Chain A
Amino acid sequence: MAEQPKLLGTLPSPFVHRVIWALKLKAIPYEFIEQDLTNKSPLLLKYNPVHKKVPVFLHGDKPVCESMIIVEYIDEVWPQNPLLPKDPYERAQARFWVKFAEDKGTAVYRMFSSKGEELEKTKKETLEMLQTAEEHGIGEKKFFGGESIGIADIAFGPVVYGLEIIEEAIGEGAVFEAHRFPRLHAWIKNFKQVPVIKENLAERDWMVTLFKNRREALAGSA
Chain B
Amino acid sequence: MAEVKLLGTWPSPFSYRVIWALKLKGIPYEYFEEDLSSKSPLLLQCNPVHKKIPVLIHGGKSICESTVILEYLEETWPQNPLMPDDPYERAIARFWVEFVEEKGVAVWIKLFSSGEEKEKAVKDSLEMLKTIEEQALGKKKFFCGDKISSVDIAYGWMARWLEVIEELAGVKLFEPQKFPRLDAWMKDFKDEPIIKGNLPGHDEMLVYFKHKL
Residues of A within 8 A of B (CB): 49-50, 59, 62, 64-66, 69-70, 72-73, 76-77, 88-89, 91-92, 95-96, 99-100, 132, 136
Q: Mark B31-60, 1 if CB is under 8 A from A, else 0.
A: 000000000000000001100000000100
Q: Mark B43-79, 1 if CB is under 8 A from A, else 0.
A: 0000011000000001001011101110110011000
Least CB separation from A94: chain B residue: B68
- Give bound CA distance, A49 to B75, whole Å: 31
Task: Tell me the interface secondary structure of chain A in the complex.
Answer: helix
Residues of B within 8 A of A (CB): 48-49, 58, 61, 63-65, 67-69, 71-72, 75-76, 87-88, 90-92, 94-95, 98-99, 131, 135
Selected from A62, A65, A89, A136, the residue in CB contact (under 8 A) with B88 is: A62
Count of A-B residue pairs with CB < 8 Å:
59
Extra pairs beyond A62-B88, A72-B94, A99-B68 (20, CB < 8 Å): A64-B91, A64-B92, A64-B95, A65-B95, A66-B95, A69-B98, A72-B91, A73-B87, A73-B90, A76-B90, A89-B58, A89-B63, A89-B72, A92-B72, A95-B68, A95-B71, A96-B49, A96-B65, A136-B48, A136-B49
Given contact pairs A69-B95, A73-B87, A92 touches B68 in the complex (Cβ within 8 A):
yes
Q: How near does chain B come to A101, taking the closest CB pair, in angstroms? A: 12
- Give bound CA distance, A94 to B91, whole Å: 17
Contact present for A88 and B76 (CB under 8 Å): yes
- Give bound CA distance, A146 to B135, whole Å: 39
Q: How near does chain A come to B187, taking the closest CB pair, in angstroms? A: 25
Q: How near does chain B come to A20, taking the closest CB pair, in angstroms? A: 18
Least CB separation from A88: chain B residue: B75
Given contact pairs A50-B135, A91-B72, A95-B68, A59 touches B98 in the complex (Cβ within 8 A):
no
- Give bound CA distance, A77 to B91, whole Å: 11
Task: Tell me the interface secondary structure of chain B in the complex.
Answer: helix
Contact present for B72 and A69 (CB under 8 Å): no
